[in-house]
Amino acid sequence: MRFFVVTGSAARQKTDCAIVGLHESAAISGAAAQLDAVLGGRIARLVKLGDIRGRAGEVTLLDTDRGPCRRVMVIGLGKKDGFGRKRYQKAMATAAAAVARTGAHDAVSYLSLETVAATDPYYRARLAAEALGHTLYRVPAIRSKRERAEPPLKSFGVAVAERDQKADAERGLHHGQAVAAGTALTRDLANLPANVCTPTYLAGRARELARSYKSVRAQVLEERDLKRLKMGSFLSVTAGTDEPAKLIVMRYAGARAKDAPIVLVGKGVTFDSGGISLKQPPGMDEMKFDMTGAASVFGAIKAAAEIGLKANIVGLVPACENMPNGRATKPGDIVRSMSGQTIEVINTDAEGRLILCDTLTYARRFKPAVVVDVATLTGACVIALGAHLTAVMSNDDDLAAELEAAGRRAEDRCWHMPLAEEYHEQLKSNFADFANACGREGGAITAACFLAKFTDGMRWAHLDIAGTAYLTGAQKGSTGRPVPLLMDFLIHRA
Ligand code: BES
Ligand code: MN
Ligand code: ZN
């Protein structure tokens, strides 16, 4: 998709499809009014007839026989009150889906001229590009028959009111396109079945990223390297599978070599059966998504490389399967982590923290400015926040606030949950330094407390995306979250 910015009257803009908005019980104004004039009042007549009401989700497609544009698409925006980022993005998604069903090769959106609470031309352009990418994304389905053809849409324009807003909007489109590309990579990887997307496959995709971008390098540590590093905790998770584990290191260099990097750590359990603490069958197929944290690190590295972000980023992905063969770790086993701390494995299904803790210890060697880990870590997080918000826990309140703000701006929100001493007590063990699991109360927080034991002296935050990483039921599939949040965080820091 090619993106561009347009200025001036909609009545003079040449395009296959002009997209305008109309709020519920509001007068036709702006670009809609300009095009209504070209159409000889057809929009106004349809409003009068009650066919166009401006309700959210409403789409009206009109052909034109005059003027430089071939079609006018009127998108209902709902009530004018409270029209913010979320509803703007929804309207953009509605428009994108509708345009993709037409024969239009290009389109121009004037929705970016609407008043959208707490945004500027940069964000309206960026969110438009992200919404378009998100809506036009197709799952890499593995079917025996060919899928329907790609939509013909090839280029997409976004309008700004004033010429001096053009540069900001162009920057927004550029960033939005990069975020969309990163998000699409995340969704592709996460949607793949676990018999395709193995740790070895992920390692190959990391090398491919490094081949595609000069600014990215990839290195893959094998199990013998993990043994040498004394990653006993990570290795205990992969003990029960035939698939070899990998620690994937991706480095994006966009700043001076001496600038401290931001380290992103992504949980890469390519399938989580629970191990000996085997999961129940219902929904177990969804545990192929247990590497979405890893996929989001791939997505963020790709988006950063697309933007040419002025930052150094290290992506660390511990990748393995959690399976129950005869060599599998058993409940009650005690393992020694790379940090030297010993862990009683109460439950082999609490495996994410066991691979992340050794990776957090490994992260120290990069002398990071901050470390952010991303993981589908706990079912308890899904109970706490549902499918809407990601949980953020941190040993630094400012960092948590920074991530919350990034989530609000990117419309990919997260919510700060506490890490208090009382929760740490739940992880006490009679036989080792601490246990990997405990009672169900506060499960998302106790999991974060476990990780916190490996982050002394580092500025660290943990994103639990168990509820937000993918949809279930008929909509089953990766959402690409939290790539928009991560990218907003990184862009604001750079
Ligand atoms: N991958 C799961 C967490 C999960 C559950 C993600 C549901 C998405 C949806 C994780 O490895 C896990 O099994 N966690 C256990 C921890 C418990 C044993 C302490 C859980 O949440 O039940
Ligand atoms: Mn598990
Ligand atoms: Zn898991």
* Coil vs helix vs strand at 286: helix
Give the residue, out of 237, 377, 446, 450, with the most ligand 1 atoms within 8 A of its beta carbon, to mutate for a pocket test.
377
* Coil vs helix vs strand at 177: helix
Alpha carbon nearest to ligand 1 atom 17, residue: 350
Is the pLDDT at 282 greater than 90? The verdict is: yes
Categorise residue 93: left if φ over 0, alpha if ψ from -120 to 50, beta otherwise. Answer: alpha
* Coil vs helix vs strand at 481: coil
Read off the DSSP letter of residue 69: B
Is the pLDDT at 147 greater than 80? The verdict is: no
Give the residue, out of 236, 270, 288, 349, with the most ligand 1 atoms within 8 A of its beta carbon, to mutate for a pocket test.
349
- Mean pLDDT for all residues in the chain: 97
Q: Which residue has the tokens 């168990």?
A: 466
pLDDT digits (tens, 9 = 90+) for 301-340: 999 999 999 999 999 999 999 999 999 999 999 999 999 9
pTM: 0.98
Q: In the chain, what percentage of residues exceed pLDDT 70?
A: 100
CB 65 within 8 A of CB 46: no
Q: Which residue, 466, 451, 467, is CA-closest to 354? A: 451
**Average pLDDT over every residue of 441-468:** 98
Question: For residue 135, what are the contacts with CB-CB under 8 A and spacing of at least 6?
Answer: 92, 93, 96, 97, 100
Is the pLDDT at 148 greater than 80? The verdict is: no
Q: Examine the residue annotation and report whether 476 is marked as an active-site residue of this protein.
A: no
Q: Examine the residue annotation and report whether 288 is marked as an active-site residue of this protein.
A: no
pLDDT digits (tens, 9 = 90+) for 12-56: 999 999 999 999 999 999 999 999 999 999 999 999 999 999 999
Is the pLDDT at 399 greater than 80? The verdict is: yes
Q: How far is the CA of 345 from the centre of ligand 3 (A)?
A: 14
Q: How far apart are CA 262 and CA 494, in angstroms?
A: 10
